[in-house]
Amino acid sequence: MLSTDTDILATAQAWRRDGRDVALATVIETWGSAPRPVGSHLVIDGEGNFLGSVSGGCVEGAVITEAVEVIEAGTPRVLEFGVADETAWRAGLSCGGRIRVFVERID
């Protein structure tokens, strides 16, 4: 069962309160077939712990890796995964769709 947005955002708040570095990834656009709708969240800490989902499979792993870099750099990023990308099969988005994910550090 997927966590609710309330669970994910409450976890982000609790992790920050505990002194953890935190990033939030949010699906901002989808096209065609996409595993998760716009507004879906994934919270990630500086050690790679996470809760929620923005896609699933290898896409999630790529978002977590990018989120750790966003935490370190402090600069938000927009990530795009899609079947038109030559990395689509490697990233696990072979369903024929495309997603854009905004990743930001939570201070």
Q: What is the pLDDT of residues 70-99, one digit of tens each?
A: 999 999 999 998 855 455 455 555 566 789
Comparing CA positions, the residue from 38, 44, 40, 100 lying closest to residue 70 is: 44
Which one has a higher pLDDT value, 104 or 107?
104
pLDDT, tens digit, 9 for 90 and up, residues 36-50: 899 999 999 999 999
Which one has a higher pLDDT value, 95 or 14?
14
Chain centroid to CA 95: how far? 18
What pLDDT score was predicted for residue 90? 53
Element (H, E) at 17: helix 5-17
The tokens of 18 are what? Answer: 């505990």
Please give the single-letter amino acid code of residue 4.
T
CA distances from 27 to 11, 18, 66 (A): 18, 26, 14
Distance CA 76, CA 70 (A): 6
- Eight-class DSSP state of 33: S
